[in-house]
Amino acid sequence: MSENVENRQLVVPGKILAKGMEFLPGDGAYRDQDEIRASVLGLVNFKGRAIKVIPLNGKYLPKRDDPVIGIITEVGYNSWNLDINATYTARMLVGDASDRYIDTNRHKLASVFGVGDAVICQIKKVDENMAVFVTARGPGLRKVHDGKLVYVNAAKIPRIIGKGASMVKMIKEYTETRMFVGQNGIVWIQGGNEELAEKAVLKIEAEAHLVGLTDKMEQFLSKESGKTINRDEPKPEPEAVAEGTEEKKEEGE
């Protein structure tokens, strides 16, 4: 906490967040001589010495190790191009497509991933020119065959995941679906009550800035699904919109 702003305060670009060298600017903030100012419209978040501003809107900006869902747009000779619902498109090289060796002379790449396929992948590298590379090698990373893709605002993703993935877990329990939440704002839902899960995701997106959303969603889900799930230990309500890093790794499966 600095003397200029409180944690979770709504700020506009240009607002002074802290003075002096005590703090460091994180995402959504920048240093202007000895002042740290906000660069986006969002909520202030203090983490140790770093001050960041969690944006309330905006496109996804690819970051290393983020789990995302990409749609194949082009099949090349030794790579694929993917639309990752971001400012930049992504590339996947043959070596990153599968754990098995793919001989480009013998196999057509389109037989691995064709145009229009949705692939659960992970950002492998983002270079200084913002060339983005993704990989489909890793636990849980694969092509999806059925189910539903729901597009939401990428800024609202941390809220859909919830603290320690509490929100996705809850939706999955009530709707009996399988879900994967990509950091880029694409949510994959499959099996069970897909419609209700989609509704729930869109509801969270619309009300992401409100406090006490988990309880509200619990009520909504139990009413819509006609189910009650007993929680033995009462869970503390996660107040923060997003702490970012720790739940980021959380994959819906």
Partner 1 sequence: MGDEKPKFLIKGGKRLDGRKPEDVRPIQIKMGVVPNADGSAEVIFGKTRVIATVYGPRELHPRHQVINERARVRVRYDMMTFSVEDRKRPGPGRRETEISKVLAEALTRVVITEKYPTRAIDVFVTVVQADASTRVAGLNAASLALADAGIPMRDLVVSLSFGKSYDEKGQGHMVVDLEKEEDNWGMGDIAYAVAPALGEVLLLQMDGDVTLEEFKKGKTMADKAALEIYEMQKRALKARYEEGSK
Residues lying near partner 1 in the complex (CB under 8 A): 8-10, 12-16, 28, 30, 32, 37, 39-42, 55-59, 61, 87-89, 129-130, 155, 209-211
Nearer of residues 10 and 93 to partner 1, judged by Cβ: 10
Pairing of strands 132-135, 90-93: parallel
In whole angstroms, the minimum distance from the beta carbon of 161 to partner 1 comes to 19
Nearer of residues 14 and 226 to partner 1, judged by Cβ: 14
Judged by DSSP in three states, 16 sits in strand
In whole angstroms, the minimum distance from the beta carbon of 156 to partner 1 comes to 11
Strand order of the β-sheet with 29-32 is 16-19, 35-38, 29-32
Nearer of residues 111 and 129 to partner 1, judged by Cβ: 129
- What's phi and psi for 168, nearest 5 deg? -60, -45
Q: Which of 179, 97, 82, 104 is nearest to 141 (CA)?
A: 97
Nearer of residues 29 and 69 to partner 1, judged by Cβ: 29
In whole angstroms, the minimum distance from the beta carbon of 82 to partner 1 comes to 14
Give the Cβ contact number of residue 72 at 10 Å: 21
In whole angstroms, the minimum distance from the beta carbon of 118 to partner 1 comes to 21
Nearer of residues 32 and 246 to partner 1, judged by Cβ: 32
In whole angstroms, the minimum distance from the beta carbon of 244 to partner 1 comes to 16
Rounded to whole angstroms, the Cα distance separating 134 from 139 reads 14
Distances in Å between the alpha carbon of 159 and those of 85, 117, 153, 202, 211? Answer: 18, 27, 11, 11, 11
